[in-house]
Amino acid sequence: MTYIEKTLSSKESIQSSFELHWIAWLPLVGWLLLALPTFGITLLMAAYEYLRLKCIEQAVTNRRVIFKRGIISRHTEEMLLNSVETVEMRQSVWGRILGYATIMLTGRGDSDLQLKWMQEPLEVKQAIENNLHHH
């Protein structure tokens, strides 16, 4: 059971889970390629990078947007849907070519939430916005 599933309140359900784009995995590939010339020393970094990426959870429920990272320690950021003021997509030239972007949510006050390296960024943006309108 994932962190997000464990933290759902009553009558709350996951509407969409968001996957990282393959480009977020490039550092792992780099560490693996360096394993031969470094006699396997970089395999420790590759293992860490793999675990770091596998432990990222990002989703929208019918009540909030959630970002969670951490292997042993845990860092979470959440924003209630009724607090979201804007949903923006920031996409570089390479992001546009390869199909990834950062989704920025700004909320009331001084709060913001970033979902980086999003695969299918338009679908992520639409999933969040659709839940804003149904909330």
> What's 84's domain CATH number?
2.30.29.30
109-112: which pairs have CB atoms within 8 A and are 24 or more residues apart? Answer: 111/79, 111/83
Query: What pLDDT score does 70 carry?
Result: 96
Structural domain boundaries, residue 73? 15-134
Q: Is residue 5 part of a domain?
A: no
Is 8 within a domain? no
Please name the amino acid found at residue 16: S
pTM passes above 0.85: yes
For residues 105-111, average pLDDT: 89
For residue 15, is pLDDT > 90?
A: yes
H or E element, residue 113? strand 112-119
Domain count, the chain: 1
Classify residue 43: in a domain, yes or no: yes
DSSP track, 57-102? EEEEESSEEEEEE-SSS-EEEEEEGGGEEEEEEE--HHHHHHTEEE
Is residue 27 assigned to a domain?
yes
7 within domain boundaries: no
What would the pLDDT profile of 34-74 be if each residue is shown by its tens digit? 998 998 899 999 999 999 999 999 999 999 999 999 999 99
Choose the weakest-confidence range: 4-13, 34-43, 112-121, 123-132: 34-43
50 occurs within a structural domain = yes
Helix (H) or strand (E) holding 107, with range, is strand 100-107
pLDDT score of 25 more than 70: yes
Residue 1 lies in a domain: no
Q: What is the pLDDT at residue 61?
A: 97
Mean local confidence (pLDDT), 69-92: 96
Residue 4 lies in a domain: no
pLDDT (0 to 100) of residue 135:
61
